[in-house]
């Protein structure tokens, strides 16, 4: 994938490092395909991970809607670390942030969405015994740590990072402390002092984690490592968004939904079949080709497809048909798994108040 201006800006202006310069990367498609583009101290985390030191992944999700295809590579990366190295994965589902920012109308809606998202995540194959969901309306003990961390950040810092105005909801202003608490929580005594924490995020979330990394040493925590994932394009070639459901494939989509949406996807084909036979297509701008490349094809197979496309020997309909089949198969399996997820499975993975952070309450 091409990194784009936002990714390049993270490296050139905000001190992130390209993953391509690392001496060692995980043997996983998101790294090998370049989808994981940049990082902050991932090399240190990965070194400790390979030494079997205590490690964890913290990877949050917004409670405003369902998981879509653009989220899958990052969750598959989290799942890779859990399966390959047996480490815990903490998943904050930000029901409180969704409410205070107006992404959901009520707290009840945020809570309902959070449970549905948790079920979808377990349906991807996560181990309920090694996966911990943080839903703040339930795990309210998180606020004890957040309150402590809030002493280390100022309004000026929040304003400079996010551009908030005086009229901003105070819940929004406080949320960076809550998010930092989610990330630093595994390092507390209550969770076994797991000091090596990795936070996989999208490019647009780096500012949140920079605040957390600034806060960490002020309270004797180790700075979390970060990896940044590039954005998969929407079916229209623009950024994939939950607010534009026709441009994204959701885990709740039916086979017909998938077929219809891929049928309308932006491609690099010519106006007519005859013209494409003569001039060839352009896989470099084709969303369908990019999805196939990232999610399903080996480098060799994608190279062959690209050459066939440029030579006018394969056509958009062929690629769409292949992608539809792959997506229907994968999402169909996830939906079958979802039917098997019980409320008791979520209960096993759901963090609840249990006298956590009591030392902070006493201090």
Q: Which residue has the tokens 């990366």?
A: 77
What 3-state DSSP class applies to 131?
A: strand
Q: How far apart are CA 316 and CA 268, in angstroms?
A: 8
Instruction: Determine the pLDDT at residue 66.
Output: 87
The pair phi, psi for residue 141, each rounded to 5°, is -60, -20
For residue 198, the cross-strand partners are 57, 225
| Domains 4-235 and 245-339 belong to one CATH topology | no
What 3-state DSSP class applies to 154?
A: coil
The residues spanned by each domain of the chain are 4-235, 245-339
Strand pairing report for 89-94 and 196-202: unpaired
Please state which architecture CATH assigns to domain 245-339: Orthogonal Bundle (1.10)
Instruction: Determine the pLDDT at residue 316.
Output: 92
Instruction: Determine the pLDDT at residue 1.
Output: 66
3.40.50.2300, 2.40.50.140, 3.40.50.620, 3.90.226.10: CATH of 4-235: 3.40.50.620
Burial of 42 from C-beta contacts in 10 A (0-12 / 13-18 / 19+): buried
* pLDDT tens for the chain, residues 1 to 363: 677 778 888 998 889 999 999 999 999 999 999 999 999 999 999 999 999 999 999 999 999 888 999 999 999 999 999 999 999 999 999 999 999 999 999 999 999 999 999 999 999 999 999 999 999 999 999 999 999 999 999 989 998 888 888 888 899 999 999 999 999 999 998 898 999 999 999 988 898 899 999 999 999 999 999 999 998 899 998 877 666 788 899 999 999 999 999 999 999 888 888 888 888 889 999 999 999 999 999 999 999 999 999 999 988 999 999 999 999 999 999 999 999 998 888 988 999 987 553 433 333
Strands (E), the chain: 17-18, 36-40, 55-58, 61-62, 89-94, 131-135, 196-202, 225-229
């Amino acid at each position: 994938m091409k990194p784009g201006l936002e990714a390049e800006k993270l490296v050139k202006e905000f001190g992130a490092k390209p993953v391509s310069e690392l001496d060692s990367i995980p043997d996983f498609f998101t790294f090998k395909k370049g989808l994981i583009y940049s990082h902050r101290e991932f090399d240190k985390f990965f070194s400790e991970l390979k030494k079997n030191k205590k490690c964890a992944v913290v990877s949050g999700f917004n409670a405003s809607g369902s998981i879509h295809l653009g989220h899958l590579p990052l969750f598959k990366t989290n799942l890779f670390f859990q399966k390959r190295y047996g480490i815990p994965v903490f998943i904050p589902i930000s029901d409180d942030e969704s409410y205070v920012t107006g992404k959901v109308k009520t707290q009840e809606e945020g809570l309902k969405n959070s449970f549905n998202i948790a079920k979808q995540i377990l349906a991807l194959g996560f181990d309920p015994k090694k996966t911990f969901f943080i839903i703040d309306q339930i795990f309210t003990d998180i606020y004890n740590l957040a309150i402590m961390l809030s002493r280390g950040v100022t309004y000026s810092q929040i304003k400079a990072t996010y551009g908030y105005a005086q009229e901003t909801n105070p819940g929004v202003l406080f949320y960076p402390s809550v998010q930092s608490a989610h990330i630093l929580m595994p390092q507390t005594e209550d969770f076994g002092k797991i000091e090596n924490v990795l936070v996989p995020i999208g490019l647009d979330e780096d500012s949140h984690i920079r605040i957390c990394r600034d806060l960490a040493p002020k309270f004797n925590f180790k700075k979390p490592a970060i990896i940044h994932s590039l954005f998969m394009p929407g079916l229209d070639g623009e950024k994939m968004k939950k607010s534009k459901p026709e441009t994204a494939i959701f885990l709740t989509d039916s086979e017909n939904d998938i077929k219809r949406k891929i049928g309308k996807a932006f491609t690099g084909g010519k106006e007519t079949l005859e013209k494409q036979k003569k001039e060839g297509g352009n896989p470099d701008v084709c969303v369908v080709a990019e999805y196939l490349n990232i999610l399903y094809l080996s480098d060799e197979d994608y190279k062959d497809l690209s050459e066939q496309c440029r030579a006018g020997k394969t056509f958009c309909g062929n690629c769409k048909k292949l992608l539809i089949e792959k997506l229907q198969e994968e999402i169909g399996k996830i939906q079958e798994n979802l039917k098997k997820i019980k409320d008791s499975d979520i209960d096993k993975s759901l963090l609840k108040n249990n006298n956590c952070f009591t030392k902070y309450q006493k201090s």
